[in-house]
Structure 1
Amino acid sequence: MTIFAVISGAESWEDIEDFGETHLDFLKQYGDFENGIPVHDTIARVVSCISPAKFHECFINWMRDCHSSDDKDVIAIDGKTLRHSYDKSRRRGAIHVISAFSTMHSLVIGQIRTDEKSNEITAIQNFLTCWILKEKSSQLMRWVARKILQRRYKTGR
């Protein structure tokens, strides 16, 4: 339910609860909601018990099963710094992520967090190893990513 809600635009635990109430008949196809939709506090507690690493692994596997890359699809890989993620009061730096976007399906098929913007090359290489790609396309993507990042850092853009 939570994944469906977030994909549909839910941004808070209350939004997820509202999504569940609105789409209860649909959700009953996929789970037991005999007692109705859990309240937002329960949803938050359950989600907080899920290991982020295991969730990431399951999500990547799910996207891999749903997404079959063919020669016509272009996977765009890009690093971004999330706006407003810097927390000065807690001395936490901004969050940097690497995303893979399927242009054919208009879908982010994977995303990983990096510690610093300067770690993009290593992060992209690690990201690509998560995916089972054809050997040639994997090597080409690594080479292209490396060249783009080298040019970006040389020019400062």
Structure 2
Amino acid sequence: MPFEFRVNGRIARPVAQVFDAVVNPVQLSRYFVTLGGISGPLVAGATVTWWGEVPVEVEAVEHNERIVFRWDAMVAKEETPYRTRVEMRFQSLDDGATMVTIAETGWRESEQGQKGSYLNCEGWSQMLACMKAWLEYGINLRHGYYLSELSGKPALEPQI
């Protein structure tokens, strides 16, 4: 059985603002990639780094609709590295809010693959909660949430 997941959340902001909060490195670094930063905007064909060290290969960006990228899966020392696929969808709702759906696929069918998928599911759920708090209330929920935030060591950021 392949390991994959889908999480979603409603953000009470227009789709253009929510989409920008992901593709724009200034915005994304205010609520999600808060330590180590982001090397550039998410544009199709680009490879950017998150947390100062995690490469993100952007495959597709459809303005206000969809973002697709690949990045390294969490692997055990003896495993050959591989990448998972993340797809974010942005749906404008009748009330002016936006439904964000994040799906990640491609883990190996192994104990390590299962562990990685569970950790990333947790991480993406946190990302949506942090995005909601930031865009709706101007609150950065990640500040001080992880020990890495307190120590200044980006290597301890969550493996999502």
Higher helix share: 1
More relative contact order, 1 or 2 (CA 8 Å, 6+ apart): 2
Same fold (TM over 0.5): no
- Normalising by structure 1, report the TM-score: 0.28
TM-score, normalised on structure 2?
A: 0.28
Larger Rg: 1
Larger fraction in strand: 2
